[in-house]
Copies of this chain bind each other. A is one copy, B any other.
C-alpha cells in the first residue's frame, strides 16, 4: 500500500498471454510479482511457467506466498478467498 508498485502484475480473467506480455516489460529491468486470487490462481501459475520456460529463458522463481484475503460482498457479508503471490527473477547477467 502507499507507494505505487509497478513491479506487480494482477492476474484476472484475460487470456494468459496478455499477462505474459505485461510481465515481460517489468522483467526486462527488475523482478516481477504475479498476484492472483481465487480461480485466477491457476492462470497465474500458467503465466509464470510460460514466462520462465518460453519467453524469458534464464529467469527463475523467487518467493511464492500463499495467503487468504477477506472480501466484503455487496450485501455486507464477508468472504474468504485464497491468494497467491509469485515472484519471478530476471536472468542473471
Classify chain A: how many residues form its interface, as a range.
Answer: 10 to 19
Is B45 a contact partner of A84 (Cβ separation < 8 A)?
A: yes
Is B66 a contact partner of A45 (Cβ separation < 8 A)?
A: yes
Copies in the complex: 2
Is B86 a contact partner of A66 (Cβ separation < 8 A)?
A: yes
Contacts A42-B42, A48-B82, A64-B66 given; 17 further ones with Cβ under 8 A?
A38-B42, A39-B39, A39-B42, A40-B42, A41-B41, A42-B82, A45-B66, A45-B82, A46-B82, A48-B66, A49-B66, A49-B68, A49-B80, A49-B82, A61-B66, A64-B64, A66-B86
Residues of A in contact with B (beta carbons under 8 Å apart): 38-42, 45-46, 48-49, 53, 61, 64, 66-68, 80, 82, 84, 86
